[in-house]
Amino acid sequence: MKPVTLYTTDACPFCSSAKALLNKRNIDYEEINLARDPDGRAELAERTGMITFPQIVIGGETIGGFQELLAADRAGRLPELLAA
């Protein structure tokens, strides 16, 4: 399975929803909270072109935020995205 990285910030309902979905599907992930890391936020925005949270990266590829994760799950594409 490809590694999943979840970039989050504090008090973010979409971040909580993304974590809940991943936990429900028994998908391990690394959470990186950038709430108090302005340099990390800037670096992430430069890398992904996104400034919203959460940002979900699977196997080095940014898939988007919670809405994109939910859409992939509902379409049955999540296992395909995670396949090594």
Question: Which pLDDT score is estimated for 57?
Answer: 96
- Using alpha carbons, select from 9, 3, 1, 82 the residue that is nearest to residue 50: 9
Question: Which pLDDT score is estimated for 21?
Answer: 97
Per-residue pLDDT of the chain (84 residues), as tens digits, is: 999 999 999 999 999 999 999 999 999 999 999 999 999 999 999 999 999 999 999 999 999 999 999 999 999 999 999 996
CATH topology of domain 4-82: Glutaredoxin (3.40.30)
Q: Are 42 and 67 in contact (CB under 8 A)?
A: no
Q: What is the largest CA-CA distance in the chain?
A: 35
Question: Which pLDDT score is estimated for 67?
Answer: 97
